[in-house]
Chain A
């Protein structure tokens, strides 16, 4: 079957760094997406990886290892506004997204 695993909840301190991990098993693979979702709002796109390695975009970076079925999202210089859920989604061979349940990130002052 197809499956995405990510931690349910994480807590971090303002100004610190946090890494949110995601493991995936899909029928075929066409890339890994990360989305941010604030409570009561729509998911918004953060990053897309299809090749192994690290993609950096400002304070956010995303890493992919296809051989390990593993990705992480790295958030630096955490701000209170980063408190949100972070959704990992893998695209299968039919180009359909398989979504994880999301990681709720709590930022403390």
Chain B
């Protein structure tokens, strides 16, 4: 139980285009999901907290207009990187809150912007 999936697992896009990443809780409902960014050989950096049916809460320094988050259902949250640039290339990981106790993580999405 408590499985979280992400799609796609990797994506390559051209500079200036937008990319959408999906995060799904497969066997449980999650009112809260989280989006992280991880640079090589570094720890996870929380970008935003996604709450079902309400606006996401962004961490300081994260551009909300660049990283659009939508949590339209109890099992799906999406992160859209708008007008992507090479500096947005990174590993993006989502997690879902299971029963108000524990975060379970997706497998991550590798984004490369050319």
The yes or no verdict on A and B being binding partners is no
Binding site for B on A (CB under 8 A): none
Binding site for A on B (CB under 8 A): none
